[in-house]
Structure 1
Amino acid sequence: MSSADLVLLVLIVLSLAFDFTNGFHDAANAIASAVSTKALSLRGALVLAGIMNLAGALAGTGVAVTVAKGVISTPTHGVTVVIAAVLGAITWNLITWYFGLPSSSSHALIGGLVGAALASATTVQWGGVVEKVVLPMVISPAVGFILGYLVMTGMLWLFRSADAHRVSRGMRRAQILSAASLAFGHGLQDAQKSMGVIVLGLVITGRQTGFDVPFWVIALCALALAAGTYAGGLRIMRTLGRRIFPLTPPYGFAAEISASSVLYLTAFVFAAPISTTHVITSAIMGVGATRRRSAVRWAVAGNIVAGWVLTLPAAAAVAALTYALTRLF
């Protein structure tokens, strides 16, 4: 095995490790509300999320192509730049997981790519970063919040005269479908980021000339994300399921359906790598705000938003430091 092959293999393994950490870091996104409302048992919810993550990961590659060619130019310093980016993202994922902070794995990876590129004097495609990352990062949570508020308002009006216990029982069953829908959207969005990184590595090493995603890359990333999701993320689940707003089945259903809609729209229509974490968190805030403003624990929400803001620069800094260290050896 040549040194180039070995470096590419390291990138592939690290990308799959990132997918795994993405899965257990973000498992709570899809199942926190369903578990907290007792619509699903924890183990059943994890199995469902793992299967639907796998299905979603196999459903498209538009976001992967955006990550592969729309964030940084092909690095002149080779695959080392991309490896440093992935290490930066993994490190930030582990830090935020440890503290139970639902930050964005997607933006950790994008931040890692930008940081490693800047450290290696590789051109950052700032137009693509702003259009495909920064703007969706700001807009998608706002849309999630508004849509969650509107969907919950509509449900409250629709069931205004219905028996509350019957509605709760029906919504608890419906949450199985909405949780599955959200997990599918998570797979559709998040598995594609690692696909894009591996494709970038293949292009850098001359293994392929275009940015099409080979099926073996799709399959490996899908399996890694699904395995990580099944491993679970209980720390973050407590934050999303209880600490922001104490969800009931109708509120959980409304939040999941709203977040799923945003994920599908951005993946299929705009091919933009948005954060599943940002969208479901803002949707939970939106549905909670329909009860009363004080029902949402805004202090907890503020800590989460701080994590969102820190993710891009923090992951970029770790990736830049990692690249600098690799140049010493």
Structure 2
Amino acid sequence: MFLISLFLSTLFLAYSNGANDNFKGVATLFGSRTTSYQTAILWATITTFAGAVASIIFASALVKNFSGKGILPDAIANAPEFHIAVAIASGLTVLVAALTGFPISTTHCLTGAILGAGLVAKGLQVNFAALGNLFVLPLLLSPVIAIALGIGIYSLFEYLSEKWNLQSNQKTLDACHFISSGIICFTRGLNDTPKIVSLISIIDYFSIQGGMITVAMAIALGGLLNSQKIAETMSEKITSMNHTQGLSANIVTGILTIAATQFGLPVSTSIVSVSSIFGVGLMGKKVNLGIFYQILISWIFTLPTATIVSGITYRLLQG
């Protein structure tokens, strides 16, 4: 019974992840009016699914990072109740954020949920050093780096546009924009799928490969059905953007997510993509600081919210 509940709660998390995260890679395509919402979400779905499938080969290292092993004793990390609590808490937090238009981090939610269930299970015996090294440090640094790179790359594009009249070749720029969005979605699928699959890795008769395919399908469905609010926030509310700004933000997000996947770091695509859009908006002097501060507050509350919900859920499952 516990294993069936674990499987279903993991699919719920995957669906929620798709709802909150799938559109982030194509937000600049829609925001710059390079394409319509329908085309953007379809492109996001196809490329995210491709990345999720590719994670079977290229990103298996992240499965261990989010299994709880090394952070908690194996007796806890291998317990179905622990994984169910993490999946339910993360899924609820991410889905509520998606439905209210806040692009939060699934990585943050998973981190908080692991911490919450771990604290209830073993108290202060949680390995906080491992938690900090694996999760907290990369998540703190990524927005600062993304904003700085967003400013730098957009400035470079502006300089090159003036020098070489790049705007005259709009079709080429749009093609590059589509390609960069596809790369972001692909790498997000590559990076996020193993994190979610780690929760069902304790089910012996369910292979990692089968888990990744199933999770990939749930992520795709969540994005198709519940991305509208996230699209509105990221494409229109943070800043208005032109084609060059959109492409610049995408390049930053792509570089950082690919680097994170390569080195096995759980950097949040959500934080990187929002921060890069904010960076190019700063250069264009059209950024909506109020919206960015609201998103920032949602990031701050993400981890403790998931921690509390996970702790309560784990205690109820023990009941």
TM-score, normalised relative to structure 1: 0.88
Match of 1:296 among 282, 287, 304: 287
1:64 aligns with 2:66: no
Match of 1:260 among 246, 254, 265: 254
Match of 1:7 in 2: 2
- Which SS does the other structure have where 1:160 is aligned? helix
Partners of 1:188 and 1:70 lie apart in 2 by: 23
CA contact (8 A) 1:56 1:186 kept: yes
Match of 1:176 in 2: 178
Task: Give the 5 Å matches for 1:237-276.
Answer: 237-269=231-263, 271-276=264-269
CA contact (8 A) 2:147 2:279 kept: yes
Match of 1:324 among 291, 315, 318: 315
Match of 1:105 in 2: 106
1:307 aligns with 2:298: yes
Partners of 1:121 and 1:8 lie apart in 2 by: 22
Q: Which amino acid aligns with 1:79?
A: P
Q: Which amino acid aligns with 2:95?
A: L
Superposed displacement of residue 287, structure 1: 1.3
Q: Which amino acid aligns with 1:325?
A: L
| 1:9-28 Cα shifts (integer Å, max 9, x gaps) | 22122112201110011122
Partners of 2:43 and 2:216 lie apart in 1 by: 14
Match of 1:3 in 2: none
1:44 aligns with 2:39: yes
CA contact (8 A) 2:188 2:269 kept: yes
Match of 1:286 in 2: 279
Partners of 1:169 and 1:322 lie apart in 2 by: 51
Structure 2: runs of 5 or more not aligned: none
Superposed displacement of residue 232, structure 1: 4.1
Match of 2:228 among 222, 234, 253: 234
Question: Aligned-residue CA RMSD in angstroms?
Answer: 2.1
Paired residues in the alignment total: 312
Q: 1:55 to 1:73 in 2, by over 3 A?
A: farther
Partners of 2:153 and 2:75 lie apart in 1 by: 45
Once structures 1 and 2 are overlaid, which stretch shifts more, 183-192 or 170-179?
Answer: 170-179
1:19 aligns with 2:14: yes
Superposed displacement of residue 163, structure 1: 4.9
Task: Give the 5 Å matches for 1:178-217.
Answer: 178-199=180-201, 201-202=202-203, 207=204, 214-217=208-211
Q: Which amino acid aligns with 1:103?
A: I
| 1:134-181 Cα shifts (integer Å, max 9, x gaps) | 001111111111111111111111111455752555423321111101
CA contact (8 A) 2:19 2:227 kept: yes
Superposed displacement of residue 83, structure 1: 0.6
TM-score, normalised relative to structure 2: 0.91
Once structures 1 and 2 are overlaid, which stretch shifts more, 85-94 or 75-84?
Answer: 75-84
Identity between Structure 1 and Structure 2 (%):
24
CA contact (8 A) 2:2 2:80 kept: yes
Partners of 1:177 and 1:317 lie apart in 2 by: 40
Partners of 1:214 and 1:97 lie apart in 2 by: 27
